[in-house]
């Protein structure tokens, strides 16, 4: 195709290693994922946790500390 430009990119694959968070009474880990800090937008490992029939996402930012939010209001809806 005349005038076409080709684009190239490099895909980087890395290993992310982190320790699982301490669970509180009545909590269960549902899955591990990646998320972002809502303040600085740093990509962080995150844990999806069930507690009291709700689903929470928990992550720890080196700059902003532990961040936990309701991910789904009903664990059955999440599953």
Task: Identify the CATH number of the domain in which residue 54 sits.
Answer: 2.20.25
Q: Which residues pair with 59 in a beta bridge?
A: 46, 67
Residue 53: which domain range?
A: 33-78
Per-residue pLDDT at 7 = 45
Convert the pLDDT of each residue in 37-76 to its tens digit: 999 999 999 999 999 999 999 999 999 999 999 999 999 9
Distance, in Å, from the CA atom of 17 to the CA atom of 32, rounded to the nearest integer, reads 12
The verdict on residue 13 lying in a domain is no
Distance, in Å, from the CA atom of 30 to the CA atom of 43, rounded to the nearest integer, reads 20
| Cα-based distances in Å from 32 to 26, 47, 60, 61, 68 | 18, 5, 13, 16, 14
The verdict on residue 70 lying in a domain is yes
How many domains are contained in the chain?
1
The answer to whether the predicted template modeling score (pTM) of the entire model surpasses 0.75 is: no
Most confident range, picked from 1-5, 18-22, 68-72: 68-72
Tokens of 52: 């009291």
The verdict on residue 46 lying in a domain is yes
């Amino acid at each position: 195709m005349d005038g076409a430009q080709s684009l190239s990119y490099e895909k980087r694959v890395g290993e992310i290693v982190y320790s699982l968070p301490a669970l509180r009474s009545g909590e269960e880990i549902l899955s591990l994922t990646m998320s972002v800090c809502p303040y600085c937008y740093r990509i962080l490992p995150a844990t999806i946790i069930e507690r009291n029939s709700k689903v929470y996402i928990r992550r720890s930012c080196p700059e902003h500390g532990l961040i936990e939010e309701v991910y789904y209001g009903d664990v059955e809806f999440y599953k």
